[in-house]
Structure 1
Amino acid sequence: MPERVRTRGLSRRQFISRAAVTAGTLAAPTLLTAAAATPARALSSGDHVPVLVVGTGYGGAVTALRLTQAGIPVAMVEMGQSWSTPGSDGKIFCNMLKPDGRAYWLRTETDQPVSYFLGAPYNKSIPSYTGVLDSEHFANTRVYQGRGVGGGSLVNGGMAVVPKRWYFEEILPQVDADAMYNVYYPRANAGLGANSVDPAWYNSASCYQYARVGSSQAGDAGFNTVFVPNVYSFPYMQRELAGSAPRSALASEVIYGNNYGKQSLDKTYLAAAAATGRLSISPLHKVTAVSPAAVGSGYSVTMEQLDTGGNVVAVKTVTADKVFFGAGSVGTSKLLVTMRDTGLLPDLPAAVGQGWGNNGNVMVGRANYLWAPTGGLQACMPVRGIDNWADPTYPCFAEISPFPAGTELWISLYLAITKNPNRATFTYNPGTGGVDLSWQASWTQPSITAAANVFDRINKAEGTIYRTDLFGVYKTWGDDFVYHPLGGCVLGKATDLYGRLPGYPGLYVTDGSLIPGSTGVNPFVTITALAERNIENVIANDFG
């Protein structure tokens, strides 16, 4: 691990100066030059570090980069593994058509979003392994989360969408929208490597037949569709289709990771942080406890080191002057609720654990006629969305999603994002030692209603019907899983306006748990931009 920097040797003015110089220095990465972040020496029990970041997803990665650029050594802890070593097939990740243990976090059967086909179960047996996608089950929903260095960036569809400004102002009125839209969103998109598909290429590319069909049918029903940027490299995808580069997005790779083409965090923010020489990452380490240090200031952090079978092989305790929680909406909320209710951090506010939402997620499929084929080759990175967010009663933004089965199925698939007002709470369960989530199955109905407002009209315009064989036995809506968990430690309620946890100087939240349940679009650009905003303030004011 890099030698510890004594922060007292740097004045607040020096930190502000460094932050100003370095804040915009992460240029858009290229796949030819960006080296993936690889772990340095793992933490040892008894270590004392200036900063510990729990989780390597969007908020944690931003925090790590800006702190290391400001001269501060950062140790990161990641529950998943470092996805940098190929398997026996020469690939780091498996694809969706032939899943194996690399696909799921400690499951013996896949748990796919589209888990049925022709009304029959479609999941497959796999060996238990610390795979890249976790489907975490609660009483009435399951939440998909990335497991590995790079977090959710490893397993999402890469859609880099900025929300409508008016809606951002509605969900986070206490945040300066001018600064977000003029400074932090552009900074986030540059750091993430967001790029846009060439419309001319898109219009002729066989791999986007499904998107063109979906856009045309939405237009027939009077809906507007828009192009959406992505962090997948479209120049690389063009080479894939031309046969001059190995296929990834065109080889049914997305939710179990992409072997090529995708500019995930391990190739962008984390790689840039690693390049400073001030970053260490401890993969397969799960934080189980955080409490004020027994002697002096700072915090004692206990963690379990896991093997790839999920077994605990070591328990470690380190001390950190400051701790940033970036374990995601679910991970951060569960950990902090547990710490409060077991007495380790008893003064955390009651708002910790509250305000969780599913970003209005619901999936649906439609059956097209034979004269409207969607294509046997489908790019797994969506580039078009149906934008009905201006509807005053049923706002909805729907990804036109791929169905990468490798053959023509005449299916149009969508992930709808809706304005669902329901919010759930995480609560510690002393009987099980776990954390429960109060989300109710009936709470997805507003999302179904808003999505049906769109797709009923499309079906009417096209004379088509819903597929009822994809999410269960005669079940139209995929309404029991969540791609976009948000909230649980809402900004300005559970924390101050920059993610500081009240009552515990040096504890911060930096991930999607800060956002109150909804962004109206895919949320990771907002999570990244908000983290950029918050860490700039923290560096300027808390390291002096």
Structure 2
Amino acid sequence: MAASTAPSERSGGTSRRRFLIGTSSIAGLSLLGLPGRAAAAAGPIGNGAHVPVLIIGTGYGGSVAALRLAQAGVPVHMVEMGMAWDTPGPDGKIFANTRTPDYRSYWLRTRTKQPIVNFLGFPLDKDVPRYTGILDAEDFGEILVYQGRGVGGGSLVNGGMAVTPKRARFSSVLPSVNAAEMYDVYYPRANAELGVNEIDVSWFDSTPAYQYSRVGRKHAQRSNFDFLYVPNVYDFDYMEQEAAGTVPKSALAAEILYGNNHGKKSLQQTYLARAKATGLVTISALHRVTSVSPASGGGYTVVIEQLDTTGGVTATKTVTADRVFFAAGSVGTSKLLVRMRATGKLPNLSGEVGKGWGDNGNVMCGRANHLWDPTGALQSSIPTAGIDNWDDGGAFAEVAPIPTGIETWASFYLSITDTPHRAEFTWNAAAGRVELNWQASWKQVSIDRAKSIFDKINRKEGTIYRTDLFGIYKIWGDHLTYHPLGGAVLGKATDNYGRLHGYPGLYAIDGSLIPGNTTVNPFVTITALAERNIEKIIATDL
């Protein structure tokens, strides 16, 4: 049964009257220049604590919710499994370089799991110390899912391509959502808050750092494909200063996969910075939620493990929250909800929980260019352009860098494709884990869609696919996704604003709400949808 959209006298354990009194007191004290009594406490959450709102995860959806709730006067505590990433390492830098992965690079792995595993016949992966690093390569048997680990979630490790889907395609992405509201209000709001900007095309045309992308443009246009310049959250003014040698280099120093030390406006610099500035938002890093269940006195009991940097559990805490927002990303939210339903913690969750998961049609490939088409030894790690063949072939391909520091004569692409396949998370009681039934054979649809672009370009240019990037004589990087979506689909596992059916005061507010595909890079859509949903939740539930 769907949760009611109307506020109840005791929804999630907090009476409406008590909540309004509390927020009025905070607002009144603020106007007097005094600290509010309910302001978030400093430091990690303590055992036995009670919070009005607990947000599980600090990625796009969770960060939006934290900021807007805090602006409405609601104290918020965020729980993040990864590190805070605010302390430099021995090299004086917070993040490791893509070319030289180290202990900071991977989440609890002893060997790297890079998307390009071979180059010119040489394996690229290397041993690293086990550490709570920034990039999680989570293996579900037939698909590898890359996720950001740390305060800021996926914003720490993505390429920053801030793409709003074409409006004509939006109904295929979120059919129950009013497109006019999204394009008139929530997409503009999300883009403004995220700091989205565009590259100066005249600089793009002249800088050596985008020679690789200009080669991609030439080949796309010669085959009559639409070539699009794509906005980004990397500060292009900063990048131009990098090229001039007046600021420390980041995008021009191959930083991307394991974080950017400069230039990139991750959530740490945007939503989360504004949220923390309210004084009502606290974040507990290296804290992993293992259980959520109804509390006897109302609200929800949440069990949390505190971790050390080897992944060891140093403390187990039990706290209560009046409301809980699941914002652990598509995989994290789905796994937690499926486990809670199967183990009897939240048995009334919808049967739709765990379903509708997709890979955004991700598939990668490389092309070997002629010697007269060098792509450049210096390559900006920030992609700024894509090839659009969605209407005719069901594929959008970003022209991606291979920032090796040497000339490769290679063009590299990450494609987003129109694929119908959706997987489901289920609980394996015997193994005590959540599993995903994704089938590797499903990627053939994505390969066929991507071939609608690259077979044509190869025929026109007289070029061939690279076979040395993803294994021995393997053309397609069809084993992974950077864009996990779904598992708690809007309007199915939840109502049309992310309220989880069966449990007032529980919400999903991340990529788990989107059923498997956004037709482009997804984080702007995740952010805009979270803006829409939290506005409604604050107005009606609180």
Tell me the TM-score normalised to structure 1 length: 0.93
Task: Tell me the distance in 1 between the aligned counterparts of 2:361 and 2:350.
Answer: 26
Task: Supply the distance in 2 between the matched residues of 1:512 and 1:64 (Cα, whole angstroms).
Answer: 16
- Please list every run of 5 or more consecutive structure 2 residues that lacks an aligned counterpart in the other structure: 1-13, 28-39
What is the CA-CA distance between 1:168 and the residue it aligns to? 1.2
Superposition pairs of residues 323-402 of structure 1, within 5 angstroms = 323-391=324-392, 394-402=393-401
State the secondary structure of the residue aligned to 1:212.
Answer: helix
Q: 1:39–1:82: 8 Å Cα contact kept in structure 2?
A: no
| 1:48-74 Cα shifts (integer Å, max 9, x gaps) | 000000000000000000000000000
Deviations 1:319-375 (A, max 9, x none): 000000000000000000000000000000110000000000000000011110101
Structure 2 residue matching 1:488: 3-state secondary structure:
coil
For residue 252 of structure 1, what is the aligned residue in structure 2? Answer: 254
Alpha-carbon offset, residue 40 of structure 1: 3.6
Is 1:191 matched up with 2:190?
Answer: no
Unpaired segments ≥5 residues, structure 1: 19-37
Q: Which amino acid aligns with 2:50?
A: H
Residue of structure 1 equivalent to 2:166? 164
Cα 1:39/1:366, change in 2 over 3 Å: farther
1: distance between equivalents of 2:395 and 2:166?
12
SS of residue matched to 1:355? coil
| 1:491 matched to 2:519 | no
Q: What is the match of residue 225 of structure 1?
A: 227
Partner of 1:148: 150
**Do 1:79 and 1:284's aligned partners in 2 also have CA atoms closer than 8 Å?**
yes
The 4+ residue runs of structure 1 with deviation greater than 4 A are 9-12
Q: 1:473-499: CA deviations, max 9, x gaps?
A: 100000001000000000000000000
Please say if residues 39 and 282 of structure 1, whose CA atoms lie closer than 8 Å, have aligned partners that are also in contact.
Answer: no
Aligned equivalent of 1:25: none
Partner of 1:315: 316
Aligned counterparts of 2:127 and 2:529: Cα–Cα separation in 1: 39
Matched-pair contact (CA < 8 Å) for 1:207–1:377: yes
Check 1:40–1:259 CA distance in 2 against 1; reply closer, same or farther (3 A cut).
farther
Matched, 1:278 2:280: yes
Question: 2:237 maps to which residue?
Answer: 235
Matching residue of 2:267? 265
Q: Residue 17 of structure 2: which of 4, 8, 32 is its match? A: 8
Deviation at 1:117, TM superposition (A): 1.3
Whole-Å separation in 1 of the counterparts to 2:407 and 2:138? 32
Tell me, yes or no, if structure 1 residue 301 matches structure 2 residue 302.
yes
Separation in 2, partners of 1:129, 1:157: 23
Give the drift of 1:173.
1.5
AA partner of residue 135 (structure 2): L
Match of residue 129 from structure 2: 127
User: Which residue pairs with 2:37 in the alignment?
Assistant: none
Specify the alignment match of 2:99 in structure 1: 97
Deviation at 1:119, TM superposition (A): 3.3
Specify the SS of the correspondent of 2:268.
helix
1:206: which partner in 2?
208
Q: Match of 1:425?
A: 424
CA deviation after TM superposition for structure 1 residue 315, in Å: 0.3
Shift of 1:150: 0.1
> Residues 6 and 495 (structure 1 numbering): CA distance in 2 closer, same or farther, change over 3 Å?
closer
What is the match of residue 72 of structure 1? 74
Residue in 1 that maps onto 2:519: 520
Q: Which amino acid aligns with 1:368?
A: N
Cα distance between partner residues in 2 of 1:7 and 1:160: 38
Counterpart in the other structure of 1:413 = 412
* 1:120 Cα deviation after fit: 3.4
Give distance in 2, aligned partners of 1:472 and 1:512: 30
**Does the 8 A contact of 2:173 with 2:519 survive in 1?**
no
Q: CA deviation at 1:77?
A: 0.1
Q: For residue 270 of structure 2, what is the amino acid of its counterpart? A: T
Q: How many residues align?
A: 514
Q: Give the percent of matched residue pairs that are identical in Structure 1 and Structure 2.
A: 63
- What residue is the counterpart of 1:35 in the other structure? none
